Chain A
């Protein structure tokens, strides 16, 4: 009993000192922090989309839309709360509390949108979801572009940059934890059943729409969280950051990593986010600076070529549907 009671909060308790340590060691490296933050946001996006596209086998391509909902609602809230603080706490702590509040509000707003979009469209089968989510993403972008309060085409700037590495990694960790717990639960097995054969799952008594909507809402929530985090370390958010291209980037990550594999999503998100910067570093080591400048521009084609190569060599993605923790789990089972 006591063992089970600990099982819930234990990973979080263990993770916090590690995050604090990371935060302290990386404090003076602005560029590393920025890059890690970007990686963190992309990991959250990929892992959360994987719950819908990978585990449940639905095809959503509007993830950037949910991210935008989170970024704008959370960002706007922070902007409004910028001048207020809790009197009994130091500013730093109170800023973090309002940041946390913004994250939760942004996530909730995105989850609500996920529910509204998901409820009617997840009753449909096949490609309809893709079209609906695509439409949703565009609608959000157009609304933002035409709303004075959201800064229109120029975007929203001046959002307090209260994001910290620890906060981002904490949410990455939380997303991973939720994804893993879902996959291991009976809920996850129902999702898996829907992915493999929706009709058979329904025949076996799985409430397919209910499960799909729940997966969709959870996924949207974390996309919203990723958006809020994004808005608090990039000095300006503008509609151009949440286009269809961003949605596709996330889809590419989970497909390259292996649909259904959380590990794959993480690895691919980290790899694909760092790749352009890695190429930039590699190129700037070249002796001739003018050559390095020219090569800088072909980073993107190289990125594309690598993706083609991955898909040709491993069509099921880097990890397929496997997880890294499958290895640890199976051993004791084989022993008994």
Chain B
């Protein structure tokens, strides 16, 4: 024991001295399993009932928990696309089946579910998740096992940065900030805009950051920037400060629960300027919370139900028939993600992960209900965003902003 202190000091000194920068190599980052043979356990599928004539697609979504409505919309959209494909004869003469696992909106459950889909159910493609943090929990697992994963609606840029097996069919956060900045500057011809951001959400921070930069770049001026925390109920202090700076519009890239209240309180304080926002606004609940206070406000979104495109109208009609509700963006994106996956499986030479990935990476001009999808080198789609206007308790299609 007497020597333990000097000994430990010596050891740590040795360790510090021996520290070196690792040589960049593929063996210690997360895409470790990329080269070499496919992950163990990816041999022929088990003799599950009917395994020979069905292709299994895996889906992870939050079917319970606080984000359940997102998960359920997405699942419905995916189900609709798969049913359509099965009616049209399936893929390569085989029927498709979806296996959905609930993750309760928790990343550790999402990682668990995706591991299960990959190693137990041996799915060919994985669809999900909505929340970016859950997708980030799933992506390294899919990447390591070389199973292509398509996220319908995770907008954080980091998700597809995980590796070349991770794709998405929605635009990313920075793009939405850019869209609103462009719209405010070019269509609304605004000069002075204030920002009210949600400090608690990565999404809101990302959008406001890009909006701030782009709007200033286009010659506009951000007159004040205030912040709140998701779940707050009183925004009067921030709004009063904003009112003092006399903006022509206020950019509030938050979720509908807060935006409704913010709009109400802004009107109470006598702020007449319209609010601008992002896709987090899209919910019927917005009108319950905000009432007429939101009339004349604008937000960017993935798709509009007013789109006259027959493909979109057919999707809306089918969805309403099947689920008795109007499809929201998440349903449309889920539908698109499944369609892209099915299309890739159809075109791929065989149903192995690398073969499907190759085809997915080449997706160009795919006609989705939420816009034309062309994937860039980072596996993010280049697609237009839609700006909706709120009037009389309705979302009204206003314009499409191209990248």
Binary CB contact string for chain B from 347 to 385 against chain A (1 if under 8 A, 0 otherwise): 000000000000000000000000000000000000000
Q: A31 touching B201 by the CB < 8 A rule?
A: no
- Listed stretches A11-19, A289-297, A311-319; interface member: A289-297
Chain B 121-145 interface residues, beta-carbon cutoff 8 Å to A: 132-133, 136-141, 145
| Other-chain residue from A31, A158, A237 in contact with B107 (beta carbon distance below 8 A) | A237
In contact, B136 and A155 (Cβ under 8 angstroms): yes
B200 touches A236 (CB 8 A): no
Q: A235: which of B105, B140, B202 is its contact (CB, 8 Å)? A: B140
A180 within 8 A of B: no
User: Is A149 an interface residue, CB under 8 A from the partner?
Assistant: no
Assembly CA distance A296 to B64 (angstroms): 10
B139/A154 in contact, CB under 8 A: no
Beta-carbon contact of A297 and B115 below 8 Å: no
Closest residue of chain A to B118, judged by CB? A30
- Considering the complex, give the chain B residue whose CB is closest to the CB of A148: B205
Note all chain B residues with C-beta closer than 8 A to A38. Answer: 108, 112
Residues of the B chain whose Cβ atoms lie less than 8 Å from the Cβ of A28: 40-41
In the complex, what distance in Å separates the CA atom of A293 from the CA atom of B104? 14
**Residue numbers in B under 8 Å from A280 (CB-CB):** 101, 116
Per the bound structure, the CA–CA distance linking A83 and B28 in Å amounts to 9
> In the complex, A287 Cα to B49 Cα: how many Å?
9
Do B30 and A161 have beta carbons less than 8 Å apart?
yes
Tell which of B13-21, B311-319, B325-333 binds the partner: B13-21
Question: Considering only CB atoms, which chain A residue lies closest to B158 in the complex?
Answer: A157
**How many residues of B sit at the interface, in one of the four size bands?**
35 or more
CB-defined contacts of B15 to chain A, threshold 8 Å: 86, 97
> Is the CB–CB distance between B108 and A160 below 8 Å?
no
**Which one of A87-95, A170-178, A204-212 is at the B interface?**
A87-95
Q: Does A121 contact B (CB under 8 A)?
A: no
Tell yes or no: B94 within 8 A of A by CB.
no
Judging by beta carbons under 8 Å apart, are A234 and B18 in contact? Answer: no
Interface flags for B184-203 (1: CB within 8 Å of A; 0: not) read 00000000000000011110
The total of interchain contacts (Cβ-Cβ below 8 angstroms) comes to: 124
A96 at the interface (CB under 8 A from B): no
Please tell me if B226 contacts chain A, counting CB pairs below 8 Å: no
B102 near A154: Cβ-Cβ < 8 Å: no
A322 to B107, CA, bound (A): 36
Contact pick for A300, options B18, B30, B64, CB 8 Å: B64
Asked if B202 and A154 make an inter-chain contact with CB atoms under 8 angstroms apart, the answer reads yes
Tell me which residues across on chain A come within 8 A of B40, comparing CB atoms: 27-28
B28 touches A160 (CB 8 A): yes
Which residue of chain A is the closest to B24 with respect to CB atoms? Answer: A83
Is B22 in contact with A84, judged by CB distance below 8 angstroms? yes
A153 adjacent to B202 (CB under 8 Å): yes
Knowing A31-B119, A84-B19, A235-B141, the reply to whether A157 touches B104 (Cβ < 8 A) is no
A91-B28, A154-B156, A235-B111 known; A161 vs B20 contact (CB < 8 Å): no
Judging by beta carbons under 8 Å apart, are A31 and B102 in contact? no
- A160 — which chain B residues lie within 8 A by C-beta? 28, 30
Are A154's CB and B107's CB within 8 A? no
Does any Cβ of A come within 8 Å of B271's Cβ? Answer: no
Give Cα A28 to B100, complex, Å.
Answer: 24
B108 contacts A234, CB within 8 Å? Answer: yes
A155-B107, A155-B136, A236-B137 as given contacts; A29 in contact with B41, CB under 8 Å: yes
Pairs across A and B, CB under 8 Å, 15 listed: A30-B141, A82-B28, A83-B22, A84-B19, A84-B20, A84-B22, A91-B28, A153-B200, A157-B137, A234-B108, A235-B107, A241-B106, A293-B100, A297-B63, A299-B102
Chain B contact residues, CB within 8 Å of chain A: 15, 18-22, 27-28, 30, 39-41, 49, 63-64, 97, 99-102, 104-108, 111-112, 115-116, 118-120, 132-133, 136-141, 145, 156, 158, 199-202, 205
